[in-house]
Structure 1
């Protein structure tokens, strides 16, 4: 059984040649119409487009890119479970489009490793790869950089030839400590990020900040991680500590959300009894149930710097590190220390 245009039912989707045959024009003319370039009258464009629409013709963007010498594609990997990565991707699209590029997105998930995500980008002929919060070790990063220019976001690079864009994580946690100390808090806890990218810098920043305020003996760093479950588990342990902390600085907003959830379920007043500060200023920080105090990494600024850095690599520029200054966003989960805390 044949369909309009001489195609048989069940065959591949219509091609330029199919549209040309049905419209009674040359394939070259159909190509002109589909690409929207000069060379066809308005009447011809309308007729050819109507035939193409009627046949269900869809322009094959992948084939078009394969025919081009430059794909103008920037590959991006991101963690599907990290809210801040989603915020970054949204801004990366705009930054890339403003420079005449598009993004190819490849997710990292519990069932999809980061190396699998990168291989998918390479198959798309991406000109440069931007890895958000990469957990790959230096040897794998160095090997990948031999195949495609590489830029890391939200992580420092220790690999020759690999650029990076990240916040001053040590300084950012220091801002959180300064904020809480200014509110009278003395018993401070940092729920760390375990082995997540940036965790070492944030641990170091917390230690330096409490030392600067003379609070080392009253502060502690406890094991945590980058997820809500990690934050909830850490908060559960803190409730049964000999001296309950009056303020918590979490590794990121997800971890902070887990801390807050546990405190609310245990009927602990936030911020009356315990203040909580996150990190990232992701969409989790402004949810319907909590307006979270947090350290903002400014996703828009980070995305702009990442795209500029990626395109600089493409232009033959030397790999470089861009460090952005984070800032405090004080909302409703941090407040003055209780009277007993102020007397300590």
Structure 2
């Protein structure tokens, strides 16, 4: 395709519209993250790249009152779950012609100063005044992975179903003494997974789990697992409420010479990439990261377009992935 600028003139949205066979308004929506059919957006973005189109951010902001910037807030980049989730969010944002600005916890004031069009929170905890304040001001906010009671849009995995699947798997392997290393107080991921495990055990007529708090902290999880495994009647299975905690259990067991899965079964949640490594082979509940990211970004853009929409809450399927760290109770 010949570049239409001519005489050194840079291509414009009018040139893209002419090449794509669409209106300039459609091109504008596609380039600014507005509502456009996926196939149309992909064609427009491909043509814009081929023509060498570079949007003028300042001019676009003045015309549309938008910057094309999406803020994303995380809390713990040492947890491998978050870098993987951020990859998926960045891809979903870029697919809409937008750009992601990342903030690692703390105040969102810097994001607001950059005039982001909306914010995705990936690690909100109950009682977050910042989330509640933004939602009350009708600033576009979406909660991804963790949810709080703040009247805003949210997307999460099906934690109760995942928890029930873990309990069913362990119970079918003959486990009765099950411990749980819980996460951060106020985190919906920890609360819903723990509640789901407790409910399923009760439904099966099994004893409640031995719960130890770790705050999703690796070192605390190692200490908790060590304490459990050196008790007079140690558990035959330990469930970490995320994979990082489950990895801590595996390392504590190795240090004590406890065989996995011969003497101890271990399971986690999230299914980060390391979980599938042959040396780990962690049984875990897979979070649908790509789907969560895509839906979170879609809901955010719908909220940007229509601030008066009622709050939406979406729950996506979570699947148990059985690997080598779980096995039958030794008799």
TM-score range, shorter chain: 0.7 to 0.9
Pick aligned residue for 1:131 from 113, 121, 131: 121
Name the residue aligned to 1:336: 328
Larger radius of gyration: 1
**8 Å contact kept, 1:173–1:249:** no
Question: CA RMSD, aligned part only?
Answer: 2.5
Give 5+ residue unaligned stretches, structure 1: 1-28, 39-58, 340-344
Quote the Cα distance in structure 2 between the aligned partners of 1:296 and 1:201: 15
Name the residue aligned to 2:20: none
* Cα offsets for 1:81-107 (capped at 9, x unmatched): 221111111111222222332222222
TM-superposed deviation, 1:280: 0.6
Length, aligned pairs only: 283
Closer, same or farther in 2 for the Cα pair 1:61/1:224, shift >3 Å? farther
Is 2:10 aligned against 1:33? Answer: yes
Secondary structure of the structure 2 residue equivalent to 1:75: strand
Is 2:162 aligned against 1:185? Answer: no
Name the residue aligned to 2:94: 97
**8 Å contact kept, 2:243–2:268:** yes
**8 Å contact kept, 1:184–1:337:** yes
Name the residue aligned to 1:305: 295
TM-score (norm 2): 0.78
Closer, same or farther in 2 for the Cα pair 1:268/1:163, shift >3 Å? same
**8 Å contact kept, 1:151–1:310:** yes
Quote the Cα distance in structure 2 between the aligned partners of 1:61 and 1:274: 59
* Cα offsets for 1:291-331 (capped at 9, x unmatched): 21101111111111111111121121322111112110111
Secondary structure of the structure 2 residue equivalent to 1:289: coil
Is 2:311 aligned against 1:319? Answer: yes
Alignment of 1:1-344 (within 5 A): 32-33=9-10, 63=58, 67=62, 69=64, 70-79=66-75, 80-108=77-105, 113=106, 115=107, 118-135=108-125, 137-145=127-135, 146=137, 148-160=139-151, 162-195=152-185, 197=187, 198-216=189-207, 219-287=209-277, 289-316=279-306, 317-339=309-331
Give 5+ residue unaligned stretches, structure 2: 1-6, 16-53
Secondary structure of the structure 2 residue equivalent to 1:216: coil
